[in-house]
Structure 1
Amino acid sequence: MKPADILVIGSGISGLSYAIKISEQLPEAKIIIVTKADEDESNTKYAQGGLAVVTNFDNDTFQKHIDDTMLAGDGENNREIVKMVISEGPKRFQELVDWGTQFDKEQDGEYKLGKEGGHTENRIVHHKDITGFEIERALLATIEKSKNIELFAHHYVIDLITQHQVPGKEADYTDNTCYGAYVLDQKADVIKKMTAKITLVATGGAGHVYKNSTNPVIATGDGIAFVHRARGKVSNMQYYQFHPTALYAKLSGMLFLISEAVRGDGAKLRLQNGEKFMHKYDAREELASRDIVARAIDNELKISGQSFVGLDCRDMDQEKFKAHFPNILQKCLDEGVDPFTDLIPVVPACHYLMGGIDTDKDGQSSIKNLFAVGECTNSGLHGANRLASNSLLEGLVFGHNAAMKSVELLQKDDFNYTDLAAVPEWNEEGLEALEELVIISYLRKQLQEMMSDLVGIVRSNERLKLAKAKQDELFQQVTELYNDAKISPQLSELRNLMNVSYLIIKHSMQMTENKGAFFNKDFARTKV
């Protein structure tokens, strides 16, 4: 394939908004988007609650939103980044509206504003309880109108192409440059060399490193893993947020999210016997930040030995609930739970990664010509714990900044075309496909069980030591498998999950105090 100007890896809010922006600025640029599943399958699609942005300046201010974000992040945020994102928010939000995204409004035409844990004001714009789905729809519709954007679904990135892969420069990591990626076309079963002047990683999170997650099954930390393997800087992987209220299920996998907005509208957490408990942990009770609520539930489950707690919606306005949360209501009814007469069974589940690929304010990584935006990054916005509904805002603001910087670089045109042309094809000579994928699924389950049991909501020095030993053992097995077998998405995902688990354990072991979503009981003076 001919080199592209831009290669975008991922089709969520970050990748799509970035591509649209460059297309608008440079209509002659060749932009390729690759995504490993269907074009609309992303973490964005499953974002229920909404987008946090200051729109009502009579009651809200940028400073309040900044303070809420810093408090949730336990002060580990980069304050300048927080200021930039929140102050730029209204402009980026309006662009989303201009691209056709519909947000719920009051009868007077003002936006309906929800409130979630950690927010001191109502500032969450939403589209019922499927905000992410609506955003994804509008962005893809805009992409389809853009003549210089090609979107390839079911194209799985195996590895980045970087300077050390160019003949004669194998050992050069000091001034590493990205030249695109090796991509598996899953339908044709062939690995393509996709070279590009600029590459954007927008691959989302890594929720399936644990056995229970609110993330779609595609969230296997691919971008973080292949940037780590390319010697790019990755940090803060110890900070993994567990959403307090996922719908309980007996089977492992993707759990249905019961949005924080339900608690924002008045739902209460109770033990199975109906007893309230959040007052014991935080004065804000159900509206405390997610790390506090998740640890409180985890502690109560350990005390009681039960599998779930209840979310009580029985005293809420039923008509308002039906209007705001129609999909949550239907899912509960499908599972045999009537929220107006029953407690909804909920458990904490792995939800959002605050760490990831290090970037600056423009989304530039430590590797030249490689940008990264969204959940796969450590942008400085979230600190040690993400404030609810700040993630979609992050994708928009950093997507814009990265696009503007990319346009500047393309116009400057200072690229090494000799190295681009010298990139070799992928070589799988002598390798054969695995006959039994059960080996991969077995190792993946072992990894997920280990991470859930030893590196979950509450950690300890002993648990982390055990986790490191088990991870080392699994890593050797996966490495041998990878070296001997032909590449498949399943094998590559397992390899990526191994890299992600290594980083989470390593960064957790480097901690000396509890911060935000990270909690080691050996550092604690209190139970949770």
Structure 2
Amino acid sequence: MVTPRVIVVGTGIAGLVAALRAARTHTVTLVTKAELGESNTRYAQGGIAAVMFPDDSVGAHIDDTLAAGAGLNSREAVEILCAEGPDRIRDLVALGVEFDHENGLLARGREAAHSSARVLHAGGDATGAGIESALVRAVRASNVSVLEFTFVRDLLVVDGQVRGVETVDSAGAIRRLEADAVILASGGAGQLYAHTTNPAVATGDGAAAAFRAGARLADVEFYQFHPTSLAVPGNFLVSEAVRGEGALLLDATGRRFMADWHPDAELAPRDVVARGIARQVAVQDGAPVLLDATGLGAAFLEARFPGIDRVSRAHGFDWSREPIPVTPAAHYWMGGIETDLRGRSSLPGLYAVGEVASTGVHGANRLASNSLLESLVFAWRSVDSLGQPWPEDHPAPDTVLRDPIGSDGEPFVRAELQHLLWDTAGMFRSAPALESARSRIAGWSAPSGLSFAALEDRNLLELAGLLVGAALARRESRGAHFRDDYPEADPRFARHSTVQVTPIAPGPHATKETSHALV
């Protein structure tokens, strides 16, 4: 009997967990365009939220997640996340993840919009790195075959079903890898924006490849901006847990200002805090606001947030004695490949887990520290559904769209796209700005070539057009999506947006139509 084959793309928490679990029953190939373990997971500071304490409840975690999601969550997905999360945390511990402890018990912190302290952490503010290193060790010790520095260019679709991937190596050699199923765990697309907390690898490759193959994407207009990154080149993340421990946000005069925008002040939902900071920066003619953690003390800051402490001091800030300058930055994509509760996309044979997926858990605004938990829970569920009958859906096209964007136009410059989206499709949006962005995007020619940079640029340009189109279609403000011309939530738009490609000309230079819908 032939062992079924699975390809897992991406090596953050979602990809590593999926690969390890699938390897028990399948032949697994794990593909990453960088080194094993380079992902958003590695840089996650704050922690992972789960109900692990007697003074907390699954019901409270559900309520907090739904409140943050601004009416757009899938309640069933949220219930699964919060109910299955504790067992998945125990599984991480069994895999070697060492969470911090205090007095013999799991240490925990509180972050914005959580009604209870339920955020676990490892190494203080190095939670992601702790999880990543333990999972990488487990993968290295397993029978998973790992392909590093290998770019997944496109999906292989045969008779309406995903049957593998087409890859490009660092020398430009193309290879076809066949499989019975593909699990995309390739992360988000933070490199769409000029200011982001994401690493350089976050260019939306999996979502773009799935879109070209005909998979449905959902809620691509919802991008979360973290309120506090260090206001220096690189936008180093300053964890929300710092505010959870009591740090305050101050304007240029030293006044605490977030209470002007929300009764929870610094612990309001992320979208509220990020916009409050952005407005204050505008009032101050671009000067950053200040995060005041001096009341927490030097010893506590160094022990609880060693990474932030080290980076702040490297930039000349002693945050135990003076407030540090902070500014919002693109952080997390709530949208992505639309999936069901088992990680299954609209394309048979294609699963998506982690930030590349849109499960409905986060709604219009992710609750802090739910992302690692979502990756963990739904990676587990997706592997458990391997080999099961695929839900009936619309027939999938067989054509991979090699030229999803124009070939005649101005040469594409990534930095120009990043600044364009930051200015027009960032925290504040309007029809005129979005229309201008759409026109500019349409005027760029598709980058060519097989270098990783060129392949990434094609994906970013593709996804930028989808994000701007979806933002134009959602004529309201909800969660992380804020329209100056439609500043209120509109019940008519309390639905998920979807986007899907329809091939209308086969061949190596396929053309397409793209449809946006609210469902």
Question: Would the TM-score normalized by the shorter structure come out above 0.5?
Answer: yes
Counterpart pick for 1:510 among 473, 483, 486: 473
User: 1-side partners of 2:211 and 2:90: how far apart?
Assistant: 35
2:265 aligned with 1:265:
no
* Equivalent position amino acid for 2:129 in 1: F
User: 2-side partners of 1:525 and 1:117: how far apart?
Assistant: 22
Counterpart pick for 2:35 among 23, 34, 38: 38
The corresponding residue for 2:67 is 71
User: 2-side partners of 1:487 and 1:326: how far apart?
Assistant: 40
Contact 1:240–1:351 (8 Å) recurs in 2: yes
User: What's the offset of the Cα at 1:393?
Assistant: 0.4
User: What's the offset of the Cα at 1:273?
Assistant: 2.0
User: 2-side partners of 1:387 and 1:18: how far apart?
Assistant: 23
Contact 1:267–1:313 (8 Å) recurs in 2: yes
Contact 2:301–2:320 (8 Å) recurs in 1: no
* Equivalent position amino acid for 1:230 in 2: A
The corresponding residue for 1:7 is 7
2:322 aligned with 1:325:
no
Counterpart pick for 1:62 among 52, 58, 62: 58
The corresponding residue for 2:165 is 181
User: 2-side partners of 1:230 and 1:118: how far apart?
Assistant: 37
- Per-residue displacement from partner, 1:244-275 (whole Å, max 9, x unpaired)? 000112x4xx4210000000000000112211
Counterpart pick for 1:471 among 420, 423, 441: 441
**1:178-257 to 2 correspondences below 5 Å:** 178-186=162-170, 188-249=171-232, 251=233, 254-257=234-237
Tell me the secondary structure at the aligned position of residue 315 of structure 1.
Answer: helix
* Equivalent position amino acid for 2:188 in 1: G
User: 2-side partners of 1:70 and 1:409: how far apart?
Assistant: 30
User: What's the offset of the Cα at 1:512?
Assistant: 2.1
The TM-score with structure 1 as length reference comes to 0.87
- Per-residue displacement from partner, 1:152-200 (whole Å, max 9, x unpaired)? 110011111112xxxxx6xxxxxx21111111121x4311111111101
User: 2-side partners of 1:502 and 1:3: how far apart?
Assistant: 40
2:95 aligned with 1:99:
yes
Pick closer, same or farther for the CA change 1:341–1:490 going to 2, 3 Å.
same
2:399 aligned with 1:443:
no
User: 2-side partners of 1:504 and 1:389: how far apart?
Assistant: 24
- Per-residue displacement from partner, 1:45-82 (whole Å, max 9, x unpaired)? 0110000000002x110011000000000020000110
**1:65-464 to 2 correspondences below 5 Å:** 65-107=61-103, 109-127=104-122, 128-147=124-143, 149-163=144-158, 176-186=160-170, 188-249=171-232, 251=233, 254-406=234-386, 408=388, 443-464=413-434
Identity of aligned residues (%): 38
Give structure 2 stretches of 5+ with no counterpart: 391-397, 403-409, 490-519
User: 2-side partners of 1:3 and 1:212: how far apart?
Assistant: 45
- Per-residue displacement from partner, 1:335-354 (whole Å, max 9, x unpaired)? 00000112111000000000
* Structure number with higher helix proportion: 1
Contact 1:310–1:345 (8 Å) recurs in 2: yes
User: 1-side partners of 2:345 and 2:13: how far apart?
Assistant: 19
User: 1-side partners of 2:297 and 2:342: how far apart?
Assistant: 44
User: 1-side partners of 2:180 and 2:191: how far apart?
Assistant: 31
The corresponding residue for 1:430 is none
User: 2-side partners of 1:447 and 1:307: how far apart?
Assistant: 24
User: What's the offset of the Cα at 1:409?
Assistant: 6.7
Greater Cα shift, 189-198 or 361-370? 189-198
User: What's the offset of the Cα at 1:471?
Assistant: 1.0
Contact 1:232–1:366 (8 Å) recurs in 2: yes
* Equivalent position amino acid for 2:88 in 1: R
User: What's the offset of the Cα at 1:321?
Assistant: 1.8
Pick closer, same or farther for the CA change 1:3–1:492 going to 2, 3 Å.
farther
User: 2-side partners of 1:367 and 1:524: how far apart?
Assistant: 36
Contact 2:478–2:488 (8 Å) recurs in 1: no
Tell me the secondary structure at the aligned position of residue 291 of structure 1.
Answer: helix
User: What's the offset of the Cα at 1:306?
Assistant: 2.3
The corresponding residue for 1:522 is 485
Contact 1:4–1:32 (8 Å) recurs in 2: no
Deviating beyond 3 angstroms after TM superposition, the runs of 4 or more aligned structure 1 residues are 407-410
User: 1-side partners of 2:59 and 2:300: how far apart?
Assistant: 30
User: What's the offset of the Cα at 1:320?
Assistant: 2.1
User: 1-side partners of 2:487 and 2:173: how far apart?
Assistant: 51
User: What's the offset of the Cα at 1:307?
Assistant: 3.2
User: What's the offset of the Cα at 1:98?
Assistant: 0.2
CA RMSD of aligned residues (A): 2.0
User: 1-side partners of 2:45 and 2:263: how far apart?
Assistant: 26
The corresponding residue for 1:431 is none
Tell me the secondary structure at the aligned position of residue 114 of structure 1.
Answer: coil
The corresponding residue for 1:20 is 20
* Equivalent position amino acid for 1:221 in 2: G
Pick closer, same or farther for the CA change 1:397–1:136 going to 2, 3 Å.
same
User: What's the offset of the Cα at 1:276?
Assistant: 1.2
User: 1-side partners of 2:290 and 2:358: how far apart?
Assistant: 33
Pick closer, same or farther for the CA change 1:42–1:525 going to 2, 3 Å.
closer
The corresponding residue for 2:503 is none
User: What's the offset of the Cα at 1:513?
Assistant: 1.5
* Equivalent position amino acid for 1:389 in 2: S
Tell me the secondary structure at the aligned position of residue 381 of structure 2.
Answer: helix
| Count of residues in correspondence between the two structures | 472
User: What's the offset of the Cα at 1:408?
Assistant: 4.5
